[in-house]
Amino acid sequence: MRVLVTGSAGFIGNHVALRLLGDGHEVIGIDNLNPYYDVDLKRRRVERLVPNKNYTNCQIDINDREALDEVFKNHQPDRVVHLAAQAGVRHSLTAPRDYIDANISGFLNILEACRNFGTEHLVYASTSSVYGANTGMPFSEHHGTNHPKSLYAATKKANELMAHSYSHLFEFPVTGLRFFTVYGPWGRPDMALFKFTKAILKDEPIDLYNNGDMKRDFTYIDDIVEGVVRCLAQPPQIDPAWHSDHPDPASSGLAAYRVYNIGNNAPIELMEYVAILEKTLGKKSLKNYMPMQPGDVDVSWASADELIQDMGYTPATSMEVGIQKFVEWYLDYFEIKI
């Protein structure tokens, strides 16, 4: 297939593009290399893709409609994996317009391009954050998601609604993937594992929100990628069992629409997570206990039943293995010896 991947210089997008190339597909990568975090890290991710003869790099912004349409027109992608977004709950408290621009206006441009250029299937990134104030565990795609606790989550919920309307009106399949706390090599510097590793190695304190009393369904990057690739290969269909009297938010009787959780289905206590990292680094951390941050949640826990049933796949990388692989990458990338 010819697959267009947005956010190809990002953490998840880069891994997905590399996997698709390895599977023999042609990949067109889009990224604007924005400075939300270290641009050099993004450039070095792209360098992993460029040598492949089946990769085309396009440095454009998805908010540039003319440039985006030109890429679709020139390359005519069969399928699209949309991973470009403004991420991060805390950043949305101080820079809300970044989220409207990238996650609402940018996503509309992607939907319009898919509509106008005959895309066979759009797979896009949602987030576990859409579950918001819901405390029914584990989180299921069949739960309601109408109480987001951050603007970031609200924009991702909006993406799911926008995708449904376009799939219904213009008859192309869409799949939304709710990622749960992704970690691993080439990860984002604003994520906990990256920040904790950096701080511990420098003998600086790590910030533990809610006084460390949190649980997360940490999901290793390879498990995320496997889920993305499998979903991309299986476009959803209209659900014949869906009924308007009791509408299931996970599917639709009006559109070829589906949402899936991709999570490890095994939440880990934050303090256990830190202990595994300390053991891997062979070094104890200094801890700075802090109150809960606005927009954050105490616990995330994915039900992976739908992914297992429909895609025959269970994310299963252990925290010990995943953290070990991240630390090995981190030490190599920054040329650190311990």
The catalytic residue positions are 152
Give helix 270-281 / helix 192-201 axis angle, nearest 10°: 40
How many helices (H) and strands (E) would you count in the chain? 12, 13
Q: Strands 205-208, 215-216: parallel, antiparallel or unpaired by DSSP?
A: unpaired
The single-letter DSSP state of residue 127 is E
Q: Which residues of 313-329 are buried (b: 16+ CB within 10 A; e: fewer)?
A: bebebebeebbebbbee
In sequence order, the β-bridge partners of residue 5 are 29, 81
Tell me the C-alpha distance between 126 and 177, whole Å: 5
The amino acid occupying position 7 is G
Return d(Cα 128, Cα 146) in angstroms, integer.
Answer: 13
β-pairing, 215-216 vs 268-269, is antiparallel
DSSP 8-state symbol, 131: G
How many alpha carbons fall within 13 Å on the CB side of residue 149? 19
Helix residue ranges per DSSP H, 171-220: 192-201
Integer angstrom CA distances of residue 73 from 57, 80, 228: 15, 13, 24
